[in-house]
Copies of this chain bind each other. A is one copy, B any other.
Amino acid sequence: MPRPLTVAAAQLGPIADDEPRASAVARMIALMEKAHRRGVELVVFPEAALTAFFPHWYMEDQAAIDRYFETEMPSAETQPLFDKARELGIAFHLGYAEIDGEHRYNTAILVGPDGTIVSKYRKVHLPGYRENEPWRPFQNLEKRYFERGNLGFPVVDALGGRVGLCICNDRRWPEVWRILGLQNAELVLLGYNTPQHDPASPAIDHLQDFHNHLSLQAGAYQNGTYVVATAKAGLEEGCEMIGGSCIVAPTGEIIAVASTRGDELVVADIDLDRCKEIRSNIFNFTAHRQPDLYTAIAEPMTAARPAPVPAK
């Protein structure tokens, strides 16, 4: 029986460092109103959608760092987004930097059409490094500013299906997709802030969009799930970020994709029941997985593994 749903990736262009949260929220509300006019039931906003992506620069003063974090959700500044969603009866996904006591996380929530938070995830695969590397034109300091998430990889019943969350760099790791797939995810939501330029491997900068889509498409196909993936894109405080926000079918096909690096709405009609086409056949996990042979995947990384450059 079809389980139709109309979903949107609500891509954001850059957010300037001096742009107030109220402005970012207003831009998201404008996209949400547009989505409503197109019959959308779920809007996916990017990772860390309320501010500039501050891990791109180095800071030492904790008070300066904490300016980018939310201490409550909703807050006075984000309440209008929740109010608009409830008014329109639209569910939404929002990424933000979260303070919880002494702990800081890169977080995403799923908010139901009634305005209540129905799922929450804290990013596990924090990319980058911990100390300033001044030779770089911009930094990648997520490991400095965030702790590893402590909420697992959640999948919840929502919107007529099973909805999973992950964030940005998580999407490159097949382990994440599989753990969501093992929980029968049918729709995975994620946001990303991905620089066009990687100072550590500039020879493959031209492949950033390809690698983004390859990771999303493989994750979708190999787990039989839809994906809505949303970028914060464009030139933000000196760092150009890819767009390519998209909606991917459980066949791995990209069925809708952004064509700008600014604020842009990407919409698709999906049918969650189509996940079965993959999961009942080629990726019938019960019939075909061999988990007793996968133990190496969960073993600690050690220096004892063979070196990558053997003799000829």
A215 lies within 8 A of B211 (CB): no
**In residues 187-211 of chain A, which contact B (Cβ within 8 Å)?**
198, 200-201, 203-204, 207, 210-211
Interface presence of A178 (CB below 8 A): yes
B175 lies within 8 A of A297 (CB): yes
Complex contacts, A273 vs chain B, CB 8 Å: 309
Bound-complex Cα distance A296 to B289 (A): 12
Bound-complex Cα distance A152 to B306 (A): 16
Q: Looking at the complex, which of A53-61, A258-266, A280-288 is the stretch in contact with chain B?
A: A280-288
B312 lies within 8 A of A159 (CB): yes
B276 lies within 8 A of A210 (CB): no
Question: Size class of A's contact patch?
Answer: 35 or more
Interface presence of A92 (CB below 8 A): no
Q: Looking at the complex, which of A69-77, A81-89, A216-224 is the stretch in contact with chain B?
A: A216-224
Complex contacts, A298 vs chain B, CB 8 Å: 291-292, 294-295, 297-298
A173 lies within 8 A of B222 (CB): yes
Interface presence of A299 (CB below 8 A): yes
Q: A221-B214, A282-B201 are in contact. Are A174 and B183 (CB under 8 A)?
A: no
Complex contacts, A178 vs chain B, CB 8 Å: 174-175, 296-297
A299 lies within 8 A of B310 (CB): no
Q: A210: shortest Cβ distance to chain B, in Å?
A: 7
Interface presence of A17 (CB below 8 A): no
Q: Mark A149-185, 1 if CB is under 8 A from B, else 0.
A: 0001101010111100000010011110111001110
Interface presence of A14 (CB below 8 A): no
Interface presence of A308 (CB below 8 A): yes
B124 lies within 8 A of A174 (CB): no
Q: A157-B311, A218-B215 are in contact. Are A296 and B182 (CB under 8 A)?
A: yes
Interface presence of A275 (CB below 8 A): yes
Question: Which residue in chain B gives the minimum CB-CB distance to A223?
Answer: B174
Bound-complex Cα distance A303 to B174 (A): 23
Interface presence of A300 (CB below 8 A): yes
A215 lies within 8 A of B222 (CB): yes
Interface presence of A136 (CB below 8 A): no
Q: A251-B207, A308-B276 are in contact. Are A293 and B124 (CB under 8 A)?
A: yes
Q: Mark A267-278, 1 if CB is under 8 A from B, else 0.
A: 000000101111
**10 intermolecular pairs with C-beta atoms under 8 Å apart:** A129-B287, A174-B174, A178-B297, A186-B308, A210-B252, A214-B221, A215-B222, A273-B309, A291-B299, A297-B297
7 A-B pairs with least C-beta separation: A218-B218, A174-B174, A160-B312, A157-B310, A184-B308, A294-B298, A201-B281
Given A294-B298, A298-B298, 16 other A-B contacts at CB below 8 A?
A3-B312, A125-B290, A160-B311, A161-B310, A173-B289, A175-B294, A179-B294, A184-B306, A200-B280, A200-B281, A211-B221, A217-B218, A218-B218, A275-B308, A291-B298, A291-B299
